[in-house]
Structure 1
Amino acid sequence: MNKARIPFIPTIIVALAVLVMIGLGFWQFQRRDEKAQALALAASNPGKPPVAFPKLPPVTADILFRPSSLHCLRVVGWQVEAGRAADGSTGYRHIAQCNTGAEGPGALVAVGVTQRPDAKPNWTGGQVTGWISQEPDHRALISRIGGKAMPLRPMLIARAAPAGLKPSAPPSAADVPNNHLAYAVQWFFFAGVAIIIYILALRRRNAPKAP
């Protein structure tokens, strides 16, 4: 009768991987509390005095949703995202990719909302006032739950819209999800799956060989 054997090195590797995943889960719990505090701060920002529009990410909680302004020299591109207008209606948010100078990263401006994704906003740039927000989040889920995602670029939500568009809804902390609890659960789930897969692999390895 063969005695079940547990390989030392593979077991150590799996154990370390599981411990890392569990650690990332608890880290996401900590991030959840930090995000809640940041959103509580941001919730009061729309009524504060204007600040300079940030040139580079990340958008910190102390300026998120603060009033601001920028000068769009010219629009170099457009992107369309689902959005909500100030009157509560839903539609398509048109975001201008602006050139703001001879050098630099430029800026994103959510100029307004329409009912048609193929609408062509009649806006070529100029001075814009509004609130500081962030670009729509299209980062991969695994990079977000692992904390390796690139920070979102700042975006100005314009207070007024050009002709043919509705003004976008002002930013609200309620629109920013706090997904860190879900991320923590996912890391714990990955750890559990890794343990189950390894146990099944050991059972298969130690199963009696057919004669």
Structure 2
Amino acid sequence: MTRTRIVLGAIVTAIAVAIMIGLGFWQLDRLEEKRALIAGYAQAVDQPPIAYPPVPTADPPLYRRSALTCLEVTGWRHQAGANAAGQPGYVHVADCRLGAEGPGAAVEIGWSREPTAGTDWQGGPVEGVIGPDERYRYRLVADEGLAGLERSAPPSLAAIRNNHLAYAVQWFAFAAIALVIFALATRKRRREGA
């Protein structure tokens, strides 16, 4: 009975350790992918402006300069954010209609300490930098504060987290811990069986 338990435990532990090691190597691959992505974004900062993509793309053109014309504001989002000086407060994001049809766009029009400021902005031309957005995948962050708001902090590469090395180390540590626990449990069962 003890031998069967040890064999079964060895099989389960081996499968778990193999999965954890696989996840560790997958995180190392993701680390390299994220480094390449960040390097591409760093190059985008110095590239010439592009036309604002009206349809979300699989590879968003983050950190590129662009411009658009908001024909009509269709909704507002007010989120925690910072101004250009790094002070905390609220950034105000207008969901805009760009044409007769299509998904629209998000425009971060500026920053304030007030949670719902800026809602009197009716739209118009906006120049800025493309940054990430949770609804449209990317948004245009205005160069200047609109509707009496202060300028928001521009999108920053420093905001992109690359924790994949820590995750890889974590998975490898879990695998090592599982092996140690199995070895200690097996040793204990053998002593009890003797």
Q: TM-score range by the shorter chain?
A: 0.7 to 0.9
Return the alpha-carbon distance in structure 2 between the equivalents of residues 198 and 164 of structure 1.
64
Q: Return the match for 2:156 from 156, 169, 172.
A: 172
Could you tell me the TM-score, scaled by structure 2's length? Answer: 0.77
Q: Return the match for 2:62 from 35, 56, 64.
A: 64
Return the alpha-carbon distance in structure 2 between the equivalents of residues 57 and 196 of structure 1.
47
Counterparts of 1:106-117 in structure 2, within 5 Å, are: 106-117=104-115
Aligned partner of 1:77 in structure 2 is 75
Q: Deviations over 1:95-122 (max 9, x none)?
A: 1222223332221211111112233432
Aligned partner of 2:88 in structure 1 is 90
Q: Return the offset for 1:178.
A: 1.4
Over 3 Å counting, the alpha-carbon distance change for 1:7 and 1:179 in structure 2 is: same
Counterparts of 1:1-211 in structure 2, within 5 Å, are: 2-6=1-5, 12=11, 15-54=14-53, 55-60=55-60, 63-136=61-134, 153-188=137-172, 191=175
Aligned partner of 1:147 in structure 2 is none
Over 3 Å counting, the alpha-carbon distance change for 1:87 and 1:21 in structure 2 is: same
Return the alpha-carbon distance in structure 2 between the equivalents of residues 189 and 71 of structure 1.
52
Equivalent pairs, count? 191
- Kindly report the root-mean-square deviation, in angstroms, between the aligned alpha carbons of the 2 structures: 3.3
Please tell me the residue identity of whatever aligns with 1:3.
Answer: T
Return the alpha-carbon distance in structure 1 between the equivalents of residues 74 and 9 of structure 2.
53
* Secondary structure of 1:119's aligned partner: coil
Return the alpha-carbon distance in structure 1 between the equivalents of residues 97 and 80 of structure 2.
23
Structure 2 unaligned regions, length at least 5: none
Over 3 Å counting, the alpha-carbon distance change for 1:49 and 1:191 in structure 2 is: same
2:128 touches 2:142 (CA, 8 Å); kept in 1?
Answer: yes
Over 3 Å counting, the alpha-carbon distance change for 1:35 and 1:18 in structure 2 is: same
Identity of aligned residues (%): 46
1:73 touches 1:99 (CA, 8 Å); kept in 2?
Answer: yes
Larger relative helix fraction: 2
Larger Rg, first or second structure (1 or 2): 2
Return the alpha-carbon distance in structure 1 between the equivalents of residues 97 and 181 of structure 2.
52
Please tell me the residue identity of whatever aligns with 1:33.
Answer: E
* Secondary structure of 1:91's aligned partner: strand
Over 3 Å counting, the alpha-carbon distance change for 1:68 and 1:181 in structure 2 is: same
* Secondary structure of 2:151's aligned partner: coil
Please tell me the residue identity of whatever aligns with 1:166.
Answer: E
Return the alpha-carbon distance in structure 2 between the equivalents of residues 29 and 107 of structure 1.
34
